[in-house]
Amino acid sequence: MVTLENSVSCQTDSCQSVPVHPPPILQVRQYIGTAARLSLERNINRHTHETEDMDIAAERIERLHELARAAAADDDELARSYVRLARRVAERNRLPLPRTFRRFTCDECDAYLRPGDNARVRLQDGHVVITCECGAHARYPYD
Ligand SMILES: [Zn+2]
């Protein structure tokens, strides 16, 4: 006679001898092992995706910077829209804007600055002072 503990739930004859139910403690260990592994894999994946997202965002910022520079020559508004988009991408991804980007854009009106054209550059007390058409000044250490 077969006791309940040793019996198998499977009804087919071919697997009667296969122990279907491992001891409960083993089941728990396996379950924890699987859960831990899954969560670890998820963490790794999430990390990889974040890194990829940041690379893509950094590339987008570079590309938008190029587009802004190119557009600035004949379309101030188009250049502004690229500058704003780049700022938004940086903000959303918590990435710093490249230094050249920060220096050649106006914080007030988002214009892409072209010294001698829509921006004035002066040296003052060891600083570079860039004045935008909108009247905003930006000071940087001379380097
Ligand atoms: Zn401005």
Q: How high is the pLDDT of residue 113? A: 97
Question: From its phi and psi, is residue 46 left (phi > 0), alpha (psi between -120 and 50) or beta?
Answer: alpha
Task: Tell if the pTM clears 0.75, that is, is over it.
Answer: no
- Compute the distance from residue 57 Cα to the ligand 1 centre, in Å: 25
pLDDT per residue of the chain (143 residues) written in tens, 0 to 9: 545 554 455 555 555 555 556 556 656 556 556 666 555 555 555 666 777 888 899 999 999 999 999 999 999 999 999 999 999 999 999 999 999 999 999 999 999 999 999 999 999 999 999 999 999 999 999 87
Domain extents in the chain: 21-108
- Tell me, which fold does domain 21-108 have in CATH? 1.20.5
C-beta of residue 112 within 8 angstroms of C-beta of residue 124: no
Q: How high is the pLDDT of residue 24? A: 62
- Compute the distance from residue 139 Cα to the ligand 1 centre, in Å: 13
Q: How high is the pLDDT of residue 7? A: 47
